[in-house]
Amino acid sequence: MLSIIVAVHNQLRMNQIFWEYLCANTEGDWELIVVDNLSTDGSREFFQSVGVRVIANPGNYSYPYCQNLGIAIAKGEYLAFLNNDVIVPKAWNTRLVSSMRHNHLDVLTSCGIEKVETKSATKRLRRRWRWIKGLALLFLGKSQYSLRKMHRWMYGDWAAFCQKRADRFSLQVTEGFVGNTVMMSRRAIELIGLWDARIQAADFDLYLRAKERARSHGDIKPMHIALDVFVHHYIRLTLNEAYPPFVDGDQLISLEDKWDATALAVLKNLNEDHALV
């Protein structure tokens, strides 16, 4: 089984799109665990109505705290940590698992607007997305119709776009990460631990932890990006929610508080080399 864990606070219209594509495009035996951070727009009730497992938080908690709550009840051999403002392609999960097995990886992310095969290709995608997003917001506002139109204008035939990439880049990976869709094996959690609940920039921290474990023990590889699995991410667009402060905000620290200059330089070089954002 695959366990998919996602944290939400409101964004009902986006949550409905997320669920629609997740159901249509996820293969095999899977469960969705929604960690709801006290939504007030019906999001919690929506997910409960479709039968997914909902953890009802009493307030808005940080990303890593929520993911660890999901891990505690997850049943899957593999765990996927998704943002709610994404649209997944057909067979996204089985392709990621196949790539993990083929490339002997325990932590793998999808590619997307944030990072594809080259820096120039990434720049083209991001430039196109900014243009389309701006037009949609200007003329259509912040509705579900607008969200769907953005996606349509960006890719045309979504299934064909994703299949073309899957065929072209089958099982190809590159070191790095795109944090909106992270797949981990149970072995990865055993070796590098749960998400660090002190770090809101949890994907950056996870990359550094896997990188350090690979260097110090050699029993795991660093995080990689699957170039044949493209997940669309609205990148903080959705409905521009004004999130309430994190309940656990006083426990959060920055990457600079945890990692030394050498480790942070690794991130800086990764950003410069691969145009991660």
pLDDT, residue 166, reads: 98
Residue range 214-232: mean pLDDT, rounded: 97
pLDDT, residue 277, reads: 33
Residue range 142-163: mean pLDDT, rounded: 96
Query: What b/e readout covers 43-69, taking b as 16+ CB neighbours within 10 angstroms?
Result: bbebbeeeebbbbebeebbbbbbbbbb
pLDDT band at 39 (very low <50, low <70, confident <90, very high): very high
Separation of alpha carbons 166 and 277, rounded Å: 23
User: In one letter, which amino acid is 79?
Assistant: L
pLDDT, residue 272, reads: 64
| Both structure tokens of 225 | 């990006």
Q: What tens digit of pLDDT does each residue of 65-123 get?
A: 999 999 999 999 999 999 999 999 999 999 999 999 999 999 999 999 999 999 999 99
| For the chain, the helix, strand and coil percentages under 3-state DSSP, each to the nearest 5 | 50, 20, 35
Residue range 46-68: mean pLDDT, rounded: 97
Whether pLDDT at 240 is above 70? no
What's the half-sphere exposure (Cβ side, CA atoms, 13 Å) at 9? 19
| Cβ atoms of residues 109 and 223 within 8 Å | yes
| Both structure tokens of 202 | 């949890």
Whether pLDDT at 237 is above 80? no
pLDDT, residue 275, reads: 42
Separation of alpha carbons 44 and 7, rounded Å: 11
Q: Which CATH number fits domain 2-274: 3.30.1330.90, 3.40.50.2300, 2.40.30.10, 3.90.550.10?
A: 3.90.550.10
Whether pLDDT at 53 is above 80? yes
Contacting residues for 75 by C-beta, under 8 A, at least 6 apart:
1, 3, 31
Residue 117's nearest CA partner among 60, 48, 178 is: 178
Query: What b/e readout covers 171-188, taking b as 16+ CB neighbours within 10 angstroms?
Result: ebbbebbbbbbbbbbeeb
Give the alpha-carbon dihedral of 233, 238, 244, 248, to 10 degrees: -10
Contacting residues for 233 by C-beta, under 8 A, at least 6 apart:
83, 85, 86, 112, 113, 114, 178, 180, 181
What does the mean pLDDT of the chain come to? 94
Whole-angstrom CA distances from 24 to 18, 60, 123, 261 are 10, 29, 29, 44
pLDDT, residue 258, reads: 97
| Both structure tokens of 56 | 């009802």
pLDDT band at 49 (very low <50, low <70, confident <90, very high): very high
| Cβ atoms of residues 110 and 184 within 8 Å | no
Phi-psi category of residue 163: left, alpha or beta, with phi > 0 → left and psi -120 to 50 → alpha = alpha
Q: Where are the domains of the chain?
A: 2-274
